[in-house]
Structure 1
């Protein structure tokens, strides 16, 4: 009788386990997506365009601290996520931008020229 009771408990636990795992992963996904927009705004950095290289799809930016990448202020070359971004800026422009590490490369994923 005790074996049957233990088997019933084990069956109930195993039957609900996939649903509880799904609910937990769904809750985590919702939490991360709701924080995604605030994370993107936290990742915005200030800089000045030094060079635009449309052929190489790269941009050189003198920037302040990149908090999301734990990087101090410096001048560096970035890849761009979308080459069309390079048409929006020119050397000397002050910009707000987001840089991320994508596929091992520091990449500008968003950029806005300041007025």
Structure 2
């Protein structure tokens, strides 16, 4: 009886190990078939709401507490952004409510548009 149980357990384990490899290969073979169509404007960054926490005019950076950035797949948080145009920093002060658009450029997070929401 004990020998039969051991055989069953070993057979099940071997089957599981062999099946895992086949399943992994099946995913690789079909991965390219699951391309999801995106709307034409899906690649564009949508404006987000935020609050200015710090303005660093010397380095051309802006610290924002922001809501989710859907185009960057980022949750709400506080972070530092470079700005694509240093003039964006003119007139901005800590505590200002803003609407802004951010994107990733050359590996950096960059504010590409910003306006006061107040």
TM-score, structure 1 as length reference? 0.64
RMSD of equivalent CA atoms: 2.1
Q: 2:83 aligned with 1:80, yes or no?
A: yes
| Alignment-derived partner of residue 103 in structure 1 | 106
- Give the distance between the partners of 2:108 and 2:43, measured in 1 at CA: 20
Aligned residue for 1:97, secondary structure, equals: strand
Structure 2: unaligned runs, 5 residues or longer: 1-39
| Unaligned ranges ≥5, structure 1 | 1-34
**Per-residue deviation at 1:70?**
0.3
Matches within 5 A, 1:1-115: 35-36=40-41, 40=44, 43-115=46-118
* 2:33 corresponding residue in structure 1: none
In the superposition, the TM-score normalised over structure 2's length comes to 0.63
Radius of gyration: which is bigger?
A: 2
* Paired residue total: 81
The structure in which a higher percent of residues are helix is 1
Mapped to 1, the partners of 2:92 and 2:72 lie a distance apart of 23
